[in-house]
Structure 1
């Protein structure tokens, strides 16, 4: 337990010193401000820049528009940035050989994987919560009526998918021993899940459902029980990926 806590602290300090945490937080804080602001001013911007000969009738912006921006930005650009930031979390230390020195000094092998996963999840959670809270505050400020159906479930579902991506980047870096391998494995799994989304019967159990059906869930066009089913499968897949990383890491060492 002591080695786990010490190595987790080391990972967090390293993320701070290399500005990875700063980059992650900056991107998500910017999204936090952009989500409600863009939803509020987008109709005005469109009317301002469109030619006078073109007339478009747009609905009055609603709180739902802000949350649509939130789930769109986080599930696309936000998660891409997160995967890139974490792509070297395992691969860099393997290529540099720094872990070998630590292991000879008594660091438990399983503590390496679990610490890196924990540190990654902590950083992802901090960035995600900040983005959510900023969006929530300014959405409440711009719109007095802010009762969105299933917002909590949709937000937790997106976070769970992000945790899976953290596990995949660690496993990918371990398998291929470089950042490109981590990106390739993570992107490959996401691509497979996306392709499986075309099958309606699989959709309630597909991890991709956690991000693709967030907005329909807010609009009551998607059943909460199906989202929960996908969440359970995603958590199970995350555990399998971590076990695979632990087994492979112990085998290599």
Structure 2
């Protein structure tokens, strides 16, 4: 436990010194502000760019439009930011050879995996839930009369899917010694999930549902029971890459 805490502290200090911690928080704070503002002012923006003589009827924005922007930003921008910032979590160690001295001095290799996973999840949690709180506050301010269903389920689903990607990214980072390999590894994983979604019998198990059906959850057309199998398989998608990462690192030359 002492080795785990020491290595975890070292990881946190490293993310602080290279400013990745602050970059992550700032970018997600911006995404949290942009979601309700985009929903609020989008009709005005579209109207200003329309040619003279052409009018388009645009419905008055609601709180659902704000949350639609939140999930759009979360999946299209937020998760991409996380994957890019964490893609070098092992490549820097390989490049500098810092793990060699630590391992020869008795640091268990599984501790390296657990610490890196812990820190990545903590940073993802801080940035994601900060983004959520900002969006929630601004949405309540701009759309005070809005109502929705299953908000907790919708935001938790996307959060959980983010942890799946972190676990898969860590496995890719252990396998490949550069920062590009993990990105391609995660890209291949996402492509695989899209292909699985083409088969109706397998779609209900697809973890990708957690990041693609959030608006359905808010509208009450999708409940937890509809996603239970996706959550179950996502749990496997977190644990299995972690175990494989430990096994691969045990056999890998540092």
TM-score by length of 2: 0.96
Q: In the alignment, which residue of structure 2 is the partner of 1:135? A: 135
Q: In the alignment, which residue of structure 2 is the partner of 1:250? A: 250
CA distance in 2, matches of 1:104, 1:91: 19
CA distance in 1, matches of 2:186, 2:149: 31
| 8 Å CA contact retained: 2:193, 2:208 | yes
Q: In the alignment, which residue of structure 2 is the partner of 1:50? A: 50
Correspondence 1:5-24 to 2 at 5 A:
5-24=5-24
C-alpha distance 84-3 of structure 1, shift in aligned 2 (>3 A)? same
Of stretches 185-194 and 89-98 in structure 1, the one that deviates more from structure 2 is: 89-98
Q: CA deviation at 1:95?
A: 2.5
1:158-205 Cα deviation digits (max 9, x unpaired): 011111111111110111111111101111001110121122222221
CA RMSD of aligned residues (A): 1.1
* Structure 1: gaps spanning 5 or more residues: none
CA distance in 1, matches of 2:59, 2:93: 52
Q: CA deviation at 1:145?
A: 2.1
CA distance in 2, matches of 1:5, 1:91: 21
CA distance in 2, matches of 1:111, 1:63: 44
* Structure 2: gaps spanning 5 or more residues: none
1:19-57 Cα deviation digits (max 9, x unpaired): 111111111000000000000000111112211222111
| 8 Å CA contact retained: 1:149, 1:220 | yes
Correspondence 1:68-217 to 2 at 5 A:
68-217=68-217
Of stretches 13-22 and 88-97 in structure 1, the one that deviates more from structure 2 is: 88-97
CA distance in 2, matches of 1:232, 1:53: 54
Secondary structure in 2 matching 1:201: helix
Secondary structure in 1 matching 2:35: helix
Q: CA deviation at 1:76?
A: 1.1
| 8 Å CA contact retained: 1:93, 1:99 | yes
Of stretches 198-207 and 66-75 in structure 1, the one that deviates more from structure 2 is: 198-207
1:114-155 Cα deviation digits (max 9, x unpaired): 000000000000000100000000000111124321110111
| 8 Å CA contact retained: 1:205, 1:226 | no
CA distance in 2, matches of 1:236, 1:155: 20
Q: In the alignment, which residue of structure 1 is the partner of 2:62? A: 62
Aligned residues: 253
